Amino acid sequence: MTLEVISQNRSFGGTQTVFRHQSGETGTPMRFAAYVPPQAEHGTLPVFWFLAGLTCTEENFTTKAGAQRVAAELGLILIAPDTSPRGEGVPGDPAGSYDFGLGAGFYVDATVAPYAANYRMRSYIETELPALVAANLPADMGRQSISGHSMGGHGAITIALRNPGRFRAVSAFAPIASPINCPWGEKALPGYLGPDRSAWRAYDATALIEDGHRIPALLVDQGLADNFLRNQLKPELLEAACAQAGIGLNLRRREGYDHSYYFIASLIEDHLRYHAAALA
């Protein structure tokens, strides 16, 4: 499949590129950002995936997190996909809200019309995009790790739980810990998947762990000044599920930090070094 280069910039000796391609899963053009560090001149490199949150595109992490400098030092390829399909004819929220539809794909494969035709972000992230990365970039797909923010943190953890052994490290920034138990999820999941709550559990990290899915360890940073902490994120539910399952969760509650990319930029180096150690 052909990748179209939308933009390309030199950064810390490597190359930051935004690609566009026609997706068979979503039926739309999709964009993703890829940072390839200078070490790629000498061979393939491990891959760090970052999934963004509500309203975001591939641009948010790429331009705001400040990850390229550390990735260049550590020799990590950074992949930042979009959060949902976009384009003419792709249905959004009829009410025009930010937390459903365009920019709010929740990393699910929708089953309800009219969303089922395009909203297939689970299959796009789990299957289609990794194949494209493997075919077009100097990526060692035997060494992958995954992280994300908010809705993307939910996506990262659930994808890792559903694909045991694929990712050597998993982390998240302020993830939606249990979408079936918060307003964002209680709106999005029935909208994409219908009213059967049992179908929602495949897209809920806490529920997946309760249902027997496992990863060895998980790093989560959560700001205590986050406006969404109490009603939407609920890390205590994930904490309880991990404790019950024996998953090594390192949940670091950070005084004064909110939900913004200032929070991510402050801690991304720490996360990248955590991932690099596991990917070595």
Of 199, 217, 196, the closest CA to residue 122 belongs to 199
Sign of the torsion formed by the C-alpha atoms of 251, 256, 262 and 268: negative
**Under DSSP, is residue 218 helix (H, G, I), strand (E, B) or coil?**
strand
How far is it, in rounded angstroms, from Cα 28 to Cα 64?
26
Q: Which pLDDT band holds residue 195 (cuts at 50, 70, 90)?
A: very high
Of 7, 25, 28, the closest CA to residue 16 belongs to 7
- Rounded mean pLDDT, 209-230: 98
Domain boundaries, the chain: 4-279
How far is it, in rounded angstroms, from Cα 7 to Cα 39?
21
Q: Write down the catalytic residue from 150, 171, 178, 271.
A: 150
7-39 tens-digit pLDDT: 999 999 999 999 999 999 999 999 999 999 999
Q: How crowded is the C-beta side of 76, counted as CA atoms within 13 Å? A: 28
Q: Are 184 and 227 in contact (CB under 8 A)?
A: no
Q: Which pLDDT band holds residue 2 (cuts at 50, 70, 90)?
A: confident
Of 33, 124, 21, the closest CA to residue 77 belongs to 33
For all residues of the chain together, what is the average pLDDT? Answer: 98
How far is it, in rounded angstroms, from Cα 69 to Cα 76?
10
Which class is 4-279 in CATH? alpha beta
Is 150 a catalytic site residue?
yes
Q: Write down the catalytic residue from 11, 82, 226, 275.
A: 226
In degrees, to the nearest 5, what angle opens at C-alpha 204 toward C-alphas 259 and 111? 110
Q: Are 159 and 78 in contact (CB under 8 A)?
A: no
85-114 tens-digit pLDDT: 999 999 999 999 999 999 999 999 999 999
Q: Write down the catalytic residue from 154, 213, 259, 275.
A: 259
